[in-house]
Amino acid sequence: MSSNTTTDAARPSTSPSTGTSTSTVLGGEHYAAELVAAVRAATVAAALAAEVWFGRGDKNAADAAAVAAMRAELLPAPFAGYVVIGEGEKDEAPMLANGEELGSGEGPACDIAVDPLDGTRLVQEGLPGSVCVIALAPRGTLFDPRDVFYMDKLISSAPARGILDLRATPSQNVRRLAEALGKPVTEITVAVLDKPRHASLVAELRGVGARVVLAGEGDVSAAIDAATPGGRIDLAMGIGGTPEGVLTACAIRALGGFMEGRLAPQSDDQLRLALAAGHDLQRVLTLDDLVASDRVLFASTPVGAGESS
């Protein structure tokens, strides 16, 4: 599928950074230019608002600023939007709430998956890597992971389709991908979130000879790198946020990559909520399960490299 990437110069007076910003837009060919521009503008506004708090030690203030800026841009946008995936519930942080309606009501009816600030701790500590992200798909096509905030994920580029399997071991998947890409296992680079829960995963990957890149945050960015052919990351795996998982699925779908997921509650309370909601925790979710349409629109803008209007 085709994609559209937009790059502009960055010179916001409040930005702590220098250089150029890149707002990434995927799937723009599926929607009217006015709506694509509005969605992109929402991520840019959120990034600029979060930048004011860059390195100031208050991640909730940064998140709240990003949420308010993104909401202000989306409210008059030419669509009828319904938030299916809102970030913030698991951390009790500011959020665009599940079930919130956005847009002018004129234009296509869309599900919304949104993370106004993916990487709040990075902004808090003045570190690069955070992004402001939103995805749209036709109404009723986004997976709703009600009451489950974590997901085990396996993500790569197009050659992995029909090759990788979340039910296989990490070692098996690395070997399979190496064969599909035509290179040795020692040249396979795997992105994993730097969390205690991944200690055994990292040990297994390094044990088989793969190169592991640990990320403190930035679930979505690492996944997009993995799904982009020829990028620095070949594979992303491990347990991360479910909201980020659905957002990621929209980008992967637009890129033509591979993704599987499986819900992964991280506490007894989360397990009870998941079972009460009727989720099958053994089910491997494909891209078709996570976003049941090719008509996706994904936009993201990095924080620390925003742009003036």
Q: CB burial class (10 A; 0-12, 13-18, 19+) of residue 293?
A: middle
CATH of the domain at 118: 3.30.540.10
> pLDDT: is 219 or 306 the higher one?
219
pLDDT above 90: percentage of residues in the chain? 75
Q: How far apart are CA 223 and CA 185, in angstroms?
A: 19
Confidence of residue 19 (pLDDT cuts 50, 70, 90): very low
Residue 309 lies in a domain: no
Q: How far apart are CA 149 and CA 274, in angstroms?
A: 9
Stretch among 18-22, 73-77, 165-169, 211-215 having the lowest mean pLDDT: 18-22
- Residue 163 shares a structural domain with residue 286: yes
Q: Measured between alpha carbons, how far is residue 57 from residues 3, 20, 46, 48, 251 in Å?
A: 36, 25, 18, 17, 30
Q: Measured between alpha carbons, how far is residue 202 from residues 151, 181, 207, 212, 236 in Å?
A: 17, 21, 8, 7, 12
Largest Cα–Cα separation, the chain: 55
Domain that holds residue 109: 4-142+296-302
Residue 224 lies in a domain: yes
Does residue 306 carry a pLDDT above 50?
A: no
The pLDDT tens digits for 233-252 are: 999 999 998 888 999 999 99
- Residue 27 shares a structural domain with residue 78: yes
The number of domains in the chain is 2
**Structure token pair of residue 31:** 């929607």
Query: What average pLDDT does the segment 15-43 reach?
Result: 81
The pLDDT tens digits for 115-154 are: 999 889 999 999 888 999 999 999 999 998 888 889 999 9
Q: How far apart are CA 154 and CA 241, in angstroms?
A: 13
Stretch among 3-12, 160-169, 262-271, 300-309 having the lowest mean pLDDT: 3-12
Q: How far apart are CA 135 and CA 296, in angstroms?
A: 7
CATH of the domain at 202: 3.40.190.90
Stretch among 9-23, 43-57, 165-179, 278-292 having the lowest mean pLDDT: 9-23
Q: Which position has the token pair 């990788």?
A: 164
- Residue 133 shares a structural domain with residue 175: no
- Residue 138 shares a structural domain with residue 155: no
Binding-site positions for Mn(2+) read 63, 87, 115, 118, 244
Contact 115, 301 (CB under 8 A): no
- Residue 127 shares a structural domain with residue 191: no
- Residue 258 shares a structural domain with residue 286: yes
Q: Which position has the token pair 């994920």?
A: 153
- Residue 126 shares a structural domain with residue 221: no
pTM of the model: 0.85
Stretch among 11-15, 38-42, 96-100, 107-111 having the lowest mean pLDDT: 11-15
